[in-house]
Amino acid sequence: MNRNATGAQAEQLAASFLKKLGYRIVDKNYRCRLGEIDLVVKDGRTTVFVEVRSASAGFCEHPAESITLKKRRTLSMAAVSYLKEKDMLDRPSRFDVVTVELQSGCDPKVTHFQNAFEAC
């Protein structure tokens, strides 16, 4: 499976997983000139910006470890853009990470990290 298809599959699995936990999906693949946010969900009144990371079996690092400082900065700027666009700067928000580990012949392993990092 190519990288784009794997990413799309991981985002779909993450969205389904979060829905089962009671989150409401608000936006998928939000794009602005500053970056992209995989999922925007609501957890009660809190807007949650979700970065989805996936990896196939055999990778040495956990998918969450691939989120660099540069990526966190890009996500932070895109999140501010989203909040401004929706006139929601005064509302609570946070950053979560959902990882999807894909293994041939096995069910995907989905892990959710709440408050994975602070805006920077």
pLDDT in tens, the chain (120 residues): 566 778 899 999 999 999 999 999 999 999 999 999 999 999 999 999 999 998 765 554 566 667 889 999 999 999 999 999 999 999 999 999 999 988 778 889 999 999 999 998
pLDDT score at 56: 65
pLDDT score at 7: 84
pLDDT score at 1: 57
6/69 Cα distance (integer angstroms): 23
Q: If DSSP codes are grouped into helix, strand and coil, which group holds residue 22?
A: coil
87/69 Cα distance (integer angstroms): 27
44/41 Cα distance (integer angstroms): 9
* pTM (2 d.p.): 0.90
pLDDT score at 64: 65
Q: Is the dihedral of CA 111, 116, 119, 120 positive or negative?
A: negative
